[in-house]
């Protein structure tokens, strides 16, 4: 028996980003008369008899009516089941609670499994993000916090065996970068004067406790729309006070397809408590500590965090 559950639409705090997403192969906007709607294509499999769809959107508008939109089958239930038996995709029609502005798709879940997420960012969305290159190869991400200081991970500035510090003369940051492989785009090529690693970090431990370093640039960078520092968190340092808050994970890394993302991307994920984090994956017990926190979706799937060395977590402050 085939069952279709598709009533869950979640709306997240708005972030002004592009309309494109990594879900473009599944999703498109269409116009029906004066109404903009969405069409979602869901591939089927004989091994799946229950299809529960969850969509997440962001929108720059208050939803006061209690109506969050609808997900509807484009065919009747009988014909949809026939399509599923034949291995044909299911097409859903999505109606939005508001038309101005039209909500932006940020994630698609099938049976609690994250299928796609992470829209490409615009060049000026994360102007504090820096890319660390070592011997002309992308190595890690970093965060600009002043004209001469970039924060990154401690293990990013050590050699592969973590035995010695990398030579700063062989390293450089690209700031205002947008595509890792586009050498023709405009970005600041920042040379590094020296690295400094948090003294309590132990490079021989598996844990990421104290895994932080700063890079002092040779020259101060000039701020612009595409190059600006990130504000340092000034609020509660207590982990429990952060649980449930939605943050933005931004950067480059391994996506849900298993390939490295060349373009800067982002995803919204909540902070979760350590116990929940470890229950989802026992491996996290080896890397959680009092100096870091865990983020992830309710299903335990956080494929965008596979490339952890190149991501940064941002919590909104207002």
Predicted pLDDT of residue 308: 39
Mean pLDDT is lowest, of 72-76, 215-219, 241-245, 280-284, for 280-284
Predicted pLDDT of residue 95: 93
Q: Is 239 exposed, middle or buried (0-12, 13-18, 19+ CB in 10 A)?
A: middle
* 6 band by pLDDT with thresholds 50, 70 and 90: very low
- Whether residue 217 is predicted with pLDDT greater than 90 in this model: the reply is yes
Highest mean pLDDT among 8-22, 54-68, 93-107, 279-293: 93-107
Check residues 11 and 41 and name the one with the higher pLDDT: 41
State the Cα angle at 157 between 149 and 131, rounded to 5°: 60
* 93 band by pLDDT with thresholds 50, 70 and 90: very high
- Whether residue 253 is predicted with pLDDT greater than 50 in this model: the reply is yes
- Whether residue 307 is predicted with pLDDT greater than 50 in this model: the reply is no
Check residues 160 and 129 and name the one with the higher pLDDT: 129
Q: pLDDT (tens digit, 9 = 90+) per residue, 36-61?
A: 999 999 888 877 778 888 888 877 67
Q: pLDDT (tens digit, 9 = 90+) per residue, 98-154?
A: 888 888 887 888 887 777 765 566 777 888 989 899 888 888 889 999 999 999 988
Mean pLDDT is lowest, of 24-33, 132-141, 217-226, 308-317, for 308-317
**C-alpha span between 182 and 176 (Å, rounded):** 12
DSSP 35-82: EEEEEEEE---TT--EEEEEEEEE-SS---SS---EEEESS-HHHHHH
- In sequence order, the β-bridge partners of residue 37 are 30
Mean pLDDT is lowest, of 75-79, 203-207, 248-252, for 203-207
* 228 band by pLDDT with thresholds 50, 70 and 90: very high
Could you give the percent of the chain with pLDDT greater than 70?
78
* Number of residues that this document lists for the chain: 318
**C-alpha span between 252 and 261 (Å, rounded):** 6
Where do you find CATH 2.40.10.10 in the chain? 129-217, 239-314
**C-alpha span between 317 and 254 (Å, rounded):** 28
Q: Cα torsion at 236, 237, 242, 243 (round to 10°)?
A: -140
- Whether residue 22 is predicted with pLDDT greater than 70 in this model: the reply is no
Q: What is 239-314's CATH number, 1.10.3720.10, 3.40.50.300, 2.40.10.10, 2.40.50.100?
A: 2.40.10.10
Give the chain's mean pLDDT: 77
What is the average per-residue pLDDT within 228-243?
83
- Whether residue 87 is predicted with pLDDT greater than 60 in this model: the reply is yes
- Which residue from 154, 147, 184, 189 is spatially nearest to 171, judged by alpha carbons? 189
Predicted pLDDT of residue 8: 46
What is the average per-residue pLDDT within 292-310?
55
Fold of 129-217: Thrombin, subunit H (2.40.10)
Predicted pLDDT of residue 13: 41
- Which residue from 48, 56, 46, 125 is spatially nearest to 86, judged by alpha carbons? 46
Predicted pLDDT of residue 255: 56
* 18 band by pLDDT with thresholds 50, 70 and 90: very low
């Amino acid at each position: 028996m085939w069952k279709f559950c598709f009533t869950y639409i979640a709306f997240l705090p708005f972030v002004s980003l592009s309309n494109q997403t990594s879900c473009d192969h599944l999703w498109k906007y269409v116009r029906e008369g004066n109404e903009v709607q969405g069409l979602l294509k869901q591939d089927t499999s004989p091994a799946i008899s229950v299809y529960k769809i969850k969509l997440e959107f962001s929108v720059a508008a208050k939803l006061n009516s209690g109506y969050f939109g609808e997900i509807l089958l484009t065919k009747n239930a009988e014909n949809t089941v026939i399509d599923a038996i034949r291995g044909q995709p299911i097409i859903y029609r999505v109606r939005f609670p508001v038309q101005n502005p039209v909500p932006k798709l940020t994630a698609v879940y099938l049976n609690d499994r994250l299928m796609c997420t992470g829209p490409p960012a615009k060049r000026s969305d994360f102007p504090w993000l820096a890319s660390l290159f070592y011997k002309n190869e992308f190595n890690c991400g970093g965060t600009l916090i002043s004209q001469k200081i970039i924060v990154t991970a401690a293990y990013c500035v050590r050699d592969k065996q973590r035995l010695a510090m990398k030579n700063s003369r062989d390293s450089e940051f690209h700031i205002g970068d947008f595509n890792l492989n586009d050498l023709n785009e405009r970005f600041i090529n920042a040379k590094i004067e020296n690295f400094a690693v948090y003294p309590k970090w132990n490079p021989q431990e598996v844990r990421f406790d104290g895994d932080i370093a700063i890079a002092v640039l040779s020259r101060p960078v000039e701020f612009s729309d595409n190059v600006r520092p990130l504000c340092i968190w000034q609020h509660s340092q207590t982990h429990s006070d952060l649980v449930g808050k939605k943050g933005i994970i931004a950067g480059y890394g391994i996506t849900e397809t298993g390939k490295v993302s060349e373009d800067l991307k982002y995803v919204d994920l909540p902070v979760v408590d350590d116990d929940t984090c470890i229950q989802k994956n026992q491996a996290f017990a080896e890397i959680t500590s009092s100096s870091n926190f865990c983020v992830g979706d309710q299903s335990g799937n956080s494929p965008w965090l596979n490339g952890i060395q190149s991501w940064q977590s941002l919590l909104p402050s207002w």
